[in-house]
């Protein structure tokens, strides 16, 4: 039996990017896996992964997502809240629609799915891993709602760990720059996207940006018994980006 064999895992936002890497890693490790997105089932999703079309910002759809997973695969023992959206605006420029989109998915979506799985987890135990961001700790320019939404995720993570332990362990992963469409969109906003990407790479002690598999590996660890004494934590996985002083010579 593999380390994650007993888990029934629900990963939100597994159509691409980090969520897809988490889905594939957990399935490879032996978990039964369900995932969701707002569109149709992606053609390249592995056949043994359950797809549920659901928008997690809607409380009814989030509840249906969890109920469908429970009915098809069994009670969720591992929830990975990965679905997220970003809007690149300051507070002054943000609209009510921006608020609904970002807070709806990143905050309400995470809250909805956590609330829906906790009754089962209270009885049989479970693990929640929320995908936050380094942007929830320090402010990315012109990402006001996104930054604030991720700070919410980090605080909610601690509350769940405190209120629902010992049955439930809950941690957040704070990715840095991970190579996905979301990251590409952010680089595209720069005057010189290629230069912005090269500058970003140079700021990583690891000498590279992150890959979705780097985050998936951390999810797998947090979901395993090797992390049995880890809860209520925000685990930064950023290749050392935020460990460095911004005042280093040559990178100003």
* Residues of the shown chain interacting with ligand NDP in the complex, contacts defined by CB under 6 A: 12-19, 36-39, 55-57, 82-85, 105, 109, 131, 133, 175, 177-178, 180-183
- Least distance between ligand NDP and beta carbon 118 (Å): 19
**Dihedral sign, CA of 152, 214, 81, 185?**
positive
Residues 6+ away with beta carbon under 8 Å from 196: 187, 190
- Least distance between ligand NDP and beta carbon 241 (Å): 10
Whether 126 is catalytic is no
- Least distance between ligand NDP and beta carbon 247 (Å): 24
- 5 contacts 30 by C-beta, under 8 angstroms: yes
What are the percentages of helix, strand and coil residues in the chain, rounded to 5? Answer: 45, 15, 40
Return d(Cα 132, Cα 175) in angstroms, integer: 7
Neighbours of 12 (CB within 10 A): 28
Pick the catalytic residue from 51, 111, 146, 177: 146
Nearer Cβ to ligand NDP (110/231) = 110
Antiparallel, parallel or unpaired: β 168-175 and 50-53:
unpaired
With b meaning 16 or more CB within 10 Å and e meaning fewer, what string describes 185-211?
A: ebbeeeeeeeeebeebeebbeeeebbe
Q: In what order do the strands lie in the sheet with 78-81?
A: 50-53, 32-37, 8-12, 78-81, 126-131, 168-175, 234-237
Nearer Cβ to ligand NDP (85/168) = 85
Nearer Cβ to ligand NDP (4/65) = 65
Nearer Cβ to ligand NDP (3/242) = 242
Nearer Cβ to ligand NDP (52/73) = 52
- Least distance between ligand NDP and beta carbon 95 (Å): 17
- Least distance between ligand NDP and beta carbon 129 (Å): 11
Active-site residues, by number, are 146
């Amino acid at each position: 039996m593999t380390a994650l064999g007993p888990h029934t895992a629900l990963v939100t936002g597994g159509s691409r990017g980090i969520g897809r890497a988490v889905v594939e890693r957990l399935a490879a490790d032996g978990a039964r896996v369900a995932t969701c997105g707002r569109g149709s089932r992606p053609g390249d999703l592995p056949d043994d992964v359950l797809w549920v079309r659901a928008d997690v910002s809607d409380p009814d759809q989030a509840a249906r997502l969890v109920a469908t997973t429970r009915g098809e695969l069994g009670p969720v023992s591992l929830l990975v809240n990965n679905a997220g959206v970003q809007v690149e605006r300051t507070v002054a420029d943000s609209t009510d629609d921006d608020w609904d989109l970002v807070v709806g998915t990143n905050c309400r979506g995470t809250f909805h799915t956590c609330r829906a799985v906790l009754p089962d987890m209270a009885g049989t135990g479970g693990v929640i891993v929320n995908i936050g961001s380094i942007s929830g700790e320090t402010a990315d320019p012109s990402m006001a709602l996104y930054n604030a939404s991720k700070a919410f995720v980090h605080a909610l993570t601690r509350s769940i760990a405190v209120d629902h332990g010992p049955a439930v362990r809950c941690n957040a992963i704070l990715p840095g720059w991970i190579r996905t469409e979301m990251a590409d969109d952010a680089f595209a906003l720069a005057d010189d996207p290629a230069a912005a990407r090269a500058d970003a790479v140079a700021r990583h002690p690891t000498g590279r940006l992150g890959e979705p598999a780097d985050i998936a590996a951390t999810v797998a660890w947090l979901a395993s018994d090797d992390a049995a004494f880890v809860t209520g934590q925000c685990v930064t996985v950023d290749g050392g980006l935020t460990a460095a002083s911004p005042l280093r010579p040559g990178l100003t």
